[in-house]
Structure 1
Amino acid sequence: MINRTVLVGRLTRDPDLRYTASGAAVATFTVAVNRQFTNASGEREADFISCVIWRKAAENFANFTHKGSLIGVDGRIQTRSYDNQQGTRVYVTEVVVENFSLLESKSQSSQQQDNANNQSSAPQSSSSSSSNNNANPFGGASSNNNSNTTQTNDSAAVDPFANNGQQIDISDDDLPF
């Protein structure tokens, strides 16, 4: 039998770290995972998946992540049930995380948290929110179309493979095969 789950998404809230009566650390959190397709109105929906992580990994996870962190988790799906205080049977399906990865740098993560804090404390104008859409997800400074054209022209001067009008003379002795 195979029961493997791999998720990549953002935390919807800070992890909730607690300790059992025997002293084992356990953290619960929810990961928002975007769907690959859009709905009828053209909007992308997300699934919110409950996860649990145990022991030292739970402590590390709680220490290094926060609301909005981009993470990858690997684990298994588990179902359980219990009776709540009203006597009703409650069924829970969750991912028991065995491994996790932080998928953005600490600076990107703190910038994401700062942006989330700013959005929740004060409404933003459309000009400031449109500047966030151009953020580079791989780090470094983001650029608009005008500076992008300048970078292309500058990079041609240092790019040895750029077509600058010179012919490349390669003999058979230069080839490794």
Structure 2
Amino acid sequence: MSGINKVILVGHLGKDPEVRHLEGGVAVASFPLATSETFNKEGRKVEQTEWHNIVMWRGLADVAAKFLQKGKLVYIEGKLRTRSFEDKEGIKKYTTEVVAENFTMLGRKTDFESGESRVARAVENENFKGGDSDDLPY
């Protein structure tokens, strides 16, 4: 039986998406996303925030770069990926990221300069293809 790797997050961007272009012009955007929950602890309200590293590839990265900004509320669907890298001292490190497969901007339309309908048109006009995350170059 196959496993399921599905992540659904609703949170606020911690900073504007940072976009890089790899060999062959493949776009990759990354940004932190904060999700918060509030609970009652000993009669007082406590808020706990978790930070998630979000990665978007190809056309999805281009759309994110155009329309997402620090502080905006967004719904993201994707999957968890853990990868390793070497830091400046040559020590092997691991990081876990959410590789986004799609996203939806949330909030009032006035929160977005162009409105959601223009985002949909931009995606269509750019022949949007989020791509298969199994084809990722890492």
Rg larger in 1 or in 2?
Answer: 1
SS in 1 for 2:70: coil
Partner in structure 1 of residue 68 of structure 2 = 65
Q: Which amino acid aligns with 1:27?
A: A
Structure with the higher fraction of residues in strand conformation? 2
TM-score by length of 1: 0.58
Matching of residue 75 in structure 1 with residue 78 in structure 2: yes
Cα shift readout 1:77-119 (whole Å, capped 9, x = no counterpart): 0001011120111100000000100112341246xxxxxxxxx
Given that residues 26 and 55 in structure 1 are in contact (C-alpha distance below 8 angstroms), is that contact kept between their aligned partners in structure 2?
Answer: yes
In structure 2, distance between residues paired with 1:28 and 1:58? 8
Matching of residue 96 in structure 1 with residue 99 in structure 2: yes
Given that residues 38 and 45 in structure 1 are in contact (C-alpha distance below 8 angstroms), is that contact kept between their aligned partners in structure 2?
Answer: no
Given that residues 38 and 46 in structure 2 are in contact (C-alpha distance below 8 angstroms), is that contact kept between their aligned partners in structure 1?
Answer: no
Given that residues 11 and 67 in structure 1 are in contact (C-alpha distance below 8 angstroms), is that contact kept between their aligned partners in structure 2?
Answer: yes
Partner in structure 2 of residue 25 of structure 1 = 27
Q: Which amino acid aligns with 1:82?
A: F
Given that residues 12 and 31 in structure 1 are in contact (C-alpha distance below 8 angstroms), is that contact kept between their aligned partners in structure 2?
Answer: yes
Measure how far apart 1:22 and its partner are: 1.8
Given that residues 28 and 52 in structure 1 are in contact (C-alpha distance below 8 angstroms), is that contact kept between their aligned partners in structure 2?
Answer: yes
- The gaps in structure 2 that reach 5 residues or longer are 114-138
Distance 1:87 1:64, change over 3 A: same
TM-score by length of 2: 0.74
SS in 1 for 2:66: helix
In structure 2, distance between residues paired with 1:2 and 1:36? 28
Given that residues 70 and 109 in structure 1 are in contact (C-alpha distance below 8 angstroms), is that contact kept between their aligned partners in structure 2?
Answer: no
Partner in structure 2 of residue 44 of structure 1 = 47
Distance 1:57 1:43, change over 3 A: same
Partner in structure 1 of residue 128 of structure 2 = none
Say how many residue pairs are matched: 110
Q: Which amino acid aligns with 1:65?
A: L
Q: Which amino acid aligns with 1:72?
A: Y
Given that residues 7 and 74 in structure 1 are in contact (C-alpha distance below 8 angstroms), is that contact kept between their aligned partners in structure 2?
Answer: yes
Measure how far apart 1:45 and its partner are: 1.3
Bigger relative contact order, structure 1 or 2 (CA pairs below 8 A, ≥6 apart)? 2
Structure with the higher fraction of residues in helix conformation? 1
